[in-house]
Amino acid sequence: MTCRERLEQFLRDHGVAYDLIGHREAYSAQGVAAEEHVSGYEFAKVVIAAVDEKMVMLVLPAPSRVNLEKLKQVLGASGARLAREEEFVGVFGDCEAGAMPPFGHLYGIPVHVDASLAHQPRIVFNAGTHREAMRMAFADFERLAQPHVADFSLSPRAA
């Protein structure tokens, strides 16, 4: 089963409305947002971090960056760093590298969402490939993924 198929089954099982959207191949979150004609602030990019050497999934708007000091504070951690692809690529074996959806709990990884993304009525995210994305209501995502919502990003708007 592919990542997209797994996601679609999961969303159908929970009665969640979503749109599956195909687009030209894009590898950056901002690139996918542009292909989908949505604001980068609506596109939920996934970043994997090692917090006290445990993998966590961070979900934040495409133009934002992870602020590791803020992340350590909100999680009460002594250490935080961005994970290297080789550390996590095997966990997401049904996804193309770098195209993971923001449902870390489907892979046994806790999910943390930046508070700035929680203000969006809907989000768009990679559906396991660099050619497909999904759109759904943030409220449905939050209900299903049950993420920890906190402020851990550095937004270009603030710069």
Task: Walk me through the domains of the chain, giving residue ranges and CATH numbers.
Answer: 3-154 (3.90.960.10)
Average pLDDT over every residue of 67-89:
94
DSSP, collapsed to helix, strand or coil, labels residue 128 as coil
The identity of residue 106, as a single letter, is L
Taking the model in full, what pTM does it have?
Answer: 0.92
CB atoms within 10 A of CB 119: 10
Q: Which amino acid is at 132?
A: E
pLDDT tens, 12-27? 999 999 999 877 777 7
Question: Which residues lie below 8 Å from residue 144, measured CB to CB, with a gap of 6+?
Answer: 10, 11, 14, 16, 103
Whether the CB-CB separation of 137 and 121 falls below 8 Å is answered with yes
DSSP conformational letter for 116:
T
What is the mean pLDDT of the segment spanning 51-80? 96
Cα separation values, 78 from 20, 55, 58, 66, 67, Å: 39, 14, 17, 16, 14
**Three-class secondary structure of residue 88 per DSSP:** helix
Distance from C-alpha of 64 to C-alpha of 56, rounded to nearest angstrom: 17
- Percentage above 70 pLDDT, the chain: 97
Q: Using pLDDT thresholds of 50, 70 and 90, give the confidence band for residue 40.
A: confident
- Residue 139: how many CB atoms within 10 A of its CB? 12
Residue pLDDT, tens place only, 80-102:
999 999 999 889 989 998 899 99
